[in-house]
Amino acid sequence: MEIKKTSLQDAYLMTPKVFQDERGFFTETYSKKKLEDAGVIAEEWVQDNHSMSAVKGVLRGLHFQNAPYTQAKLVRVTKGSVYDVIVDLRKDSPTFGKWEGFTLTDKNFQMLFVPRGFAHGFMTLEDNTEFQYKCDNYYAPESEGGLMWNDSEFGIDWPIENPILSDKDQKHPSFNEFNSPF
């Protein structure tokens, strides 16, 4: 598994080795030892989530969880493709307020480690896209938070102009209205 630092502190892009033949493929999608050897720090994974977006252009995010339920995530696409975005919300981080985007697909097998204190979101680039993520803390609705997906402060270059959003994701505050708890 190749593990590379991203431009944001403590976030990593991972590309597993994929073994393919006429039967299909095999790949190792998680190795605690390999992540630890690369300096990736997460608590024990306690929850796996799986979402399916029926159409191209669905945007989910930008989401995070507040204390005491902050979460690190290990995310990947198992069918289709997404443009995946992370934003560093940790006040003491040298990359505070910065974002980075990645194209994750079922063909490139790449995974993204999203540290605690980051906002995360993704936009589907194909119909019937399936997205999976490991979390190191449980989902807690009372601790969920979010930021505006199209905040001009970030200037995220989303690949589709008019995404399909949930009502909740249309009402998140801007970064300027947000006082980071991280």
> Strand 118-124 vs strand 81-88: parallel, antiparallel, or unpaired?
antiparallel
Report residue 27 as tokens. Answer: 């790949």
Q: Which of 63, 83, 120, 172 is catalytic?
A: 63
63 as an active site residue: the answer is: yes
69 as an active site residue: the answer is: no
CA distance 107 to 40: 24
Q: Which of 83, 120, 133, 172 is catalytic?
A: 133
Report residue 158 as tokens. Answer: 């989303």
- CA angle 141/144/146 to nearest 5° reads 145
- Write the DSSP string, 55-105: STTBEEEEEEE-TTS---EEEEEEESEEEEEEEE--TTSTTTT-EEEEEEE
Kindly list the catalytic residues. Answer: 63, 133
